[in-house]
Structure 1
Amino acid sequence: MATKEYDASKLQAFGDAAAGHEGVLSDASGSVVVKPCTASEIAFYESLSSHPDLAIHLPTFMGQLSFSADQATATEAVESGTIETADGTIERLHGKKLSTDLHIVLESITHGFKKPNVLDLKLGAQLWDDAAKPEKRARLDAVSQETTSGSLGFRIAGMRTYKGASAPNVPEDLKDFVQVDTEDGYWVYNKMYGRKFSTEDIHNGFTSYIFPGENTEAELDRAREILAYFLGEVKDIQEVIESKESRMYSASILLVYEGDVDEYANTKQKLRSAHPDDEDGDEETILPKLAEVRMIDFAHATWTPGQGPDENALQGMRSTAKILKELLDKTQD
């Protein structure tokens, strides 16, 4: 890998994250994310060259970034290309200090959407790996037992839904779980939101994500299309993981779709009119997106030859697919 120096002060806070650690940054275009990581997560991404069937379901790995102590410069190890950054200063999400100087550079899954609606599903009933200390195991086991992580193998870790230019007020029963981003028109659901659900009412969380507006005919049509797409993608990921011998503790499935109903319709028209075989030489053209599904968060992911598939993560995928199928069936009644 080649090494190149960059001015880290020209990175900026990444605003589309639904969950995860603080300190996630982005470049000017929003096409990449730069997030704190461990060496093991970088090693996992580097190993994906031997697993192309899984790699297509993960964000594209761009390389790694190490910040100097004063955060003034950065050293990026990249296989090819460069990252264009914006003018400005480093902004840390919620003002929290970065806990590591090592960062991974990944494709931003929300790039290409005008108003991405994002749902982060944390996989697994067991949320700790073998290196976790007893106190961490006990804490995460308690979270699992008290949430749908234990019963379904996943829980909602975070969510963002576009509510329109003038986002409505949050009802009393959600005020502990939702913040209103009045500038961008979003409701931003915190990690405690997903912890309030049980096996019996988890559908309500998905319904709030899939139907964030007034249930107009256009929104119902969009719901049918994205549910069918989400279901197909989750089942494809499940099939790949069933064929691997791995353990991916605390990994997530990220679901994204275009939250602006008018933009969704416009994007469908643009995609119908696009001709991917045209050779116009413009490699910078980025087509808009309707929906996307990827696996993310591999700080505790390893290959485990001889130990069979990761049933811990697979339970959550199967539960997710079941709920998506039930919601899709309802939209078709």
Structure 2
Amino acid sequence: MKFGYFSALLFCTVLLLSGCGARETQETVESLPPKPAAFTRKSKIEDVKHDPVFGSYGRLLFPVEDAYYSGDTLEDLGLTYYSHIDPDETLEIVNTLRERAADGQTIFYDIYTDEEKAADPAKEDTGLFFFKGVPGEKFAICNAGGAFAYVGAMQDSFPHALELSQKGYNAFALIYRPGAQTACEDLARAIRFIFDHADELEVDTDCYSLWGGSAGARMAAWLGSYGAEAFGGGDLPRPGAVIMQYTGLSEYSESDPPTYACVGDRDGIANWRVMQARLEAMQKAGIDTEFHVYSGLGHGFGLGTGTSAEGWINDAVAFWEQQMNR
């Protein structure tokens, strides 16, 4: 009889305590700040740029030079010199960055000090967007094109950086000052910044890679050919691989890093034969190269989703990984 009485008492006590715990948990959940609603294809570009979660750097997600992009919403985004812009990729990029920023992660780094920016206000419009991968993995810097007039990151570097991060690599997308010289100086500074903050960023600096499309590809190639020191970045190792898209560069040096390149056969800006000739000459000089030309494609196809170039980034990553294993 006693046993039954105490069992009932214990059961009631557990129920009482469980009820209190449930109420406390519910109150805690209700007190948390609401998770920001995801952007949609119909979200206005201006709203994305000025979303409080991005702080002062949201304006750098899209070209600072407004004349080089068109469209009011994410699905209507157009960028000068670019084709095959995929609204779903754009949406995934901004939502990924927004979610990470809302979660307290650092997704943007200044590469210049306040003093340097005060001395040269153009440096205000520079920095690195960080697409973090696996801590301790190698890093890549992706450089968008834009004819050195603007930075077309939403098509030519953000998609690549996001894809690389999803493969586990730590990827950065550089927002640089227009102009060939200043762009290369900013890339050299970005490499220096990452090396100086490698522990904080949790990146492996060995056999890093430089990626670029159009003007961004020239930046990657020039830093590979001449090194960061030639552009004020100091004495740093050269990249383990350079990944280039659609730029008709001819010059190279015998100390160039291994180079992967791809282009469309209907590119009216970067002739595929010029690119092929350069890589063949580099190969004869003993530099490891890989070249692809895709049918029916013009300039600025980015990841090439839905085109004959779709999946090219997997070949490029495999090429980079080959250099890691040498």
Higher-strand-fraction structure: 1
Q: Please give the range of the TM-score, normalised by the shorter of the 2 chains.
A: under 0.3
Larger RCO: Structure 1 or Structure 2 (Cα < 8 Å, ≥ 6 residues apart)?
1
> Comparing both structures, which one devotes a greater share of its residues to helix?
2
**TM-score normalised to the size of structure 1?**
0.26
